Amino acid sequence: MICLTHFKGNSFYLNAELIKSVEATPDTVITLVDESKIVVRESPAEVARRVIEYRHAVLTGRYEPSSAGA
């Protein structure tokens, strides 16, 4: 899971495996596999970086939920 910030400011954790796409419209909109959408404060590049870090940590056995997306 990765930590993100809702557009209104509160933090939440998102299962990175459920992300279908991320786009700037100009706000960052994440579309999930079920077609629901979430608007976040992070840029698309930052979301991508966090997903890559999460997947790298999982594949190398270094994933710790308390540090997800940090």
Report if residue 26 sits inside a domain. yes
Whichever domain contains 55, its CATH number is: 2.40.50
pLDDT reading at 69 higher than 90: no
Per-residue pLDDT tens for 12-36? Answer: 999 999 999 999 999 999 999 999 9
Q: Looking at residue 68, what is its pLDDT?
A: 52
Number of domains in the chain: 1
List the beta strands (DSSP E) in 1-69.
2-5, 11-14, 19-24, 28-32, 37-40
Residue 61's pLDDT band, with cuts at 50, 70 and 90, is confident
Report if residue 69 sits inside a domain. no
